[in-house]
A = this chain, B = another copy of it.
């Protein structure tokens, strides 16, 4: 006697968006750990069952809410200069991570992903990958314009760029700042080996 999954066609869009909005608001106001499904439901004017029908856990609601809040807005700029475009985009990621709006919620989602398998799956799928793909598309463009070596693995390049940001974010070592971003991009493009080779244009590795 298998439990039928609910029929998405009958789903109420009004309820869905009210829930996501309520989830984000409450998460922001009292922190993720003190966010309860009861409160999300009350805040959205919705029965608890409506949440349990469509999401498996509090975390799942919050990831989805977070994803909608960040927006699909992450399309990369393309000014022709890949280094500057990356820095600009990384600065906006940094602002989002550090800002009071989404930062704390994003932290909480990362925390939840460490023990909740459902979120461990949703976080990369829903939030990380689409933005990684956007970054890879920009890098691919740069490669075709000769700003990037032909043979690099773009997945690793993305990790080289954003990994340092997340390193600070999750390990609480330093705040992410423009200086870190500048150096990360410049080091990654120019390399750490003593310059036996010409980097071409911008060897400005100081400060």
Residue A9 CB within 8 A of the other chain: no
Q: Are B160 and A188 in contact (CB under 8 A)?
A: yes
Interface segment among A15-23, A48-56, A60-68, A167-175: the answer is A167-175
In the complex, chain B residues whose CB is within 8 Å of the CB of A121? 172
Do residues B172 and A123 form an inter-chain contact, with CB atoms below 8 A? yes
- Indicate whether A88 reaches chain B with its CB closer than 8 angstroms: no
| Given A200-B196, A206-B151, CB of A187 within 8 Å of CB of B156 | yes
User: Using an 8 Å CB-CB cutoff, how does the interface string of A190-207 with B read, 1 for contact, 0 for none?
Assistant: 111111111110000110
Cβ contact within 8 Å between A190 and B187: no
Contact assessment for A152 and B198 in the assembled complex, using a CB-CB cutoff below 8 Å: no
**Residue A25 at the B interface, CB < 8 A?**
no
- Docked-complex contact B191 and A199, CB < 8 angstroms: yes
> Which chain B residues border A155 with CB–CB below 8 Å?
174
> What B residues does A174 contact at CB under 8 A?
155
User: Can you list 11 A-B contacts with CB-CB less than 8 angstroms, sorted by A residue number?
Assistant: A31-B115, A123-B172, A128-B171, A129-B173, A148-B192, A156-B164, A159-B164, A166-B167, A189-B192, A191-B191, A191-B192
